Amino acid sequence: MNLKERLERLTSVSKPVQEERSQVLHELREKLDRLLEPRKVYQKEEVYPIEQMVKGEVVSTPYGEAFQVKEHFPCHHRYGEMTLAEILGIPTYPAHLLSRDERLIELDLPRTLFLDTETTGLTGGTGTLVFMVGLGFFHGEEFLTHQLFMRDYSEEKGCLFLLNELLESFRFLVTFNGRHYDVPLLETRFILSRMTSKIREMPNFDLLFPSRKIWKGAYENCRLVTLESRLLGMGREDDIPSEWIPHLYFEYVQTRDARKIHRVFYHNRMDILSTVALMGRIHLVYHDPQAARPGKGIEHFSLGRLFWDHGLREKAIPCFEMALKRCDDDLAWEVMRWLSLAFKKTGQTEKARSLWEEMLAWPYQKEAFPFIELAKYHEHQLKNFEKAIAYVEMALEQFSPEQQKEVERLLHRKRRLEGKRLGL
C-alpha cells in the first residue's frame, strides 16, 4: 500500500468522526444559548396589610391579639328618614308586643347593643367561623360602632374576649335574624373556645320577624338591604354582595392582602346603621302610623291586623280604612273582609252591612263570606228571616259539592231559619 492509498484511508475514517464531533458541539452550543437566554424577571406582588387599609388598632387581650375598628356618629347624623337622636326619642314599647317577649317591656336604647356578624358561611353550623363582629350603641351624644376582626384564625379568642367585655356593659340586644343565626353561632364559638357568655340569655329584639309581619308582600323580599333601599330610601356606595364575603375572607387569610377584605368593614357598618334605622321605623309606625306615613296599602293592612291582634281596635280600623283606599284590587277583598268584621265587632253594623253589600258587586272575586254575613245581619238585626234565607241560598251557590262541611253548615242554618220563619 503506497502513501496515497494510506492517506485516502485515513481521510475516509476521520470524516464521520469529525461530523459527529461537530454535531455534539452544535448541540452543546444550543444548550448553552438556552441557559444564557435572558428571562423575564417576576417581581413579588406587593401585599397590603389590614392595618394599612383600615384605620384601626391592634388590641392585646389575655387570649392574644385582635384587630378593632371604631367609628363615631353624632346624634344629628341622618340615616334613612330620621336622625339618630330622633330614633333615640321614639317610645320602645312596641318591641315586646311585636316579639312577644315580656322582657323587652323595659327596652332602653342606651342599654342596648346592636349586633351583626360576618362569617365564613351563610348557613351556620359548627364549622362556620365569625371573623367579624359588628357592634353599635348609643353613648352620650354619639352613636359608636366597634368592629372586631380576626386577622387570623388564632385571633378568635381575642375577639370573643372583647365581645364579652362589651356584652357585660349592656342589657338588651337588637339584631336582624340574630335570634336564629348570629346569636347561636356566637354561642357555639364561645363553647368551642371554652369561654362563657351571657349572649343567649340577653333579651333580643330581632327585627326580621316584625319586618315580615308589616312589610311581607310590600317588597320583593324582607332582606335588610331590600328594606334599607326600598323602605328607608337609603343606598350604598361600592358595597359588596353578602354571598361574596366568605370567599374574600378565605382569600385574605391565604394572601394577607387586605385590598378586597377591607370593603367588608363598610358593609358591616352599614348593616349596623340600617338595623338602627329599621328599628326606629318599626317603633314609629307602630306607635304613630299617621306620623310614619306608610306608603303602601299592604303596609296599612298589615299594621291593622297587628293592632287588632294586640287588642288595639281604635288603631286597627283607621289602618284598614287607609289600606282600602291605597291597595290594589287583589288585596281589596281581604281588606274589606277584615274591615267589615272590625265594624261588626265594634258595634258599627251599618258600616259593616254597607261593605258586605259592596262585596256582593265586586267583579274580581266571589265567595260566600258576604252572603253569610248578610244572612246573619238580616236574621239577628232586622229579624227578616225571608231575606236571610235568600242570602243563605246565594251562599250555597258559591260552594262546590266537594265542600261538604261548609254546605252542611249552610243547610243547617237554612233549616233553622225556615223554622224561625214558620214560628217554630
**In order of start, what are the domains of the chain with their CATH numbers?**
50-287 (3.30.420.10), 366-424 (no CATH)
Q: How does residue 3 score in pLDDT terms, banded at 50, 70 and 90?
A: low
pLDDT value, residue 276:
97
- Asked if residue 353 lies in contact with residue 331, where contact means CB atoms within 8 angstroms, the answer is no
Q: What is the mean pLDDT of residues 106-133?
A: 91
For the stretch 370-397, pLDDT in tens is 999 999 999 999 999 999 999 999 999 8
Q: What does 375-395 look like in DSSP terms, one character per residue?
A: HHHHHHTS--HHHHHHHHHHH
**pLDDT above 70 for 116:** yes
DSSP character for 45? Answer: P
Query: What whole-number percentage of the chain has pLDDT above 70?
Result: 91
pLDDT value, residue 37:
66
pLDDT value, residue 221:
94
- From residue 242, alpha-carbon distances to 70, 117, 160, 369, 382 in Å are 22, 11, 22, 45, 62
pLDDT value, residue 366:
72
d(CA 251, CA 258): 9
The model's pTM: 0.83
- Asked if residue 112 lies in contact with residue 34, where contact means CB atoms within 8 angstroms, the answer is no
Among the ranges given (172-176, 268-272, 405-409), the one the predictor scored with the smallest mean pLDDT:
405-409
Q: What is the mean pLDDT of residues 118-130?
A: 85
**pLDDT above 90 for 235:** no
d(CA 171, CA 149): 23
Q: Please provide the average confidence, as pLDDT, over all residues in the chain.
A: 90
pLDDT value, residue 29:
74
**pLDDT above 70 for 13:** no
**Alpha carbon distance, N-terminus to C-terminus of the chain:** 158
> What are the b/e assignments for 42-78, b being 16+ CB within 10 Å?
eeeeeeeebeebbebeebebebebbbbbebebebeee
Among the ranges given (57-61, 230-234, 313-317), the one the predictor scored with the smallest mean pLDDT:
230-234
Q: Region of 353 please: left (phi>0), alpha (psi -120 to 50) or beta.
A: alpha
**pLDDT above 60 for 12:** no
d(CA 120, CA 50): 18
Q: How does residue 122 score in pLDDT terms, banded at 50, 70 and 90?
A: confident
For the stretch 25-50, pLDDT in tens is 777 777 767 666 665 545 567 899 99
CA dihedral (352, 353, 357, 360) in degrees, to 10, reads 60
pLDDT value, residue 402:
80
**pLDDT above 80 for 20:** no
Task: Tell me which residue of 269, 61, 55 sits closest to 159, measured CA to CA.
Answer: 61
- From residue 162, alpha-carbon distances to 63, 68, 403 in Å are 10, 9, 62
pLDDT value, residue 399:
87
**pLDDT above 80 for 124:** no
Task: Tell me which residue of 350, 402, 342 sits closest to 381, measured CA to CA.
Answer: 350
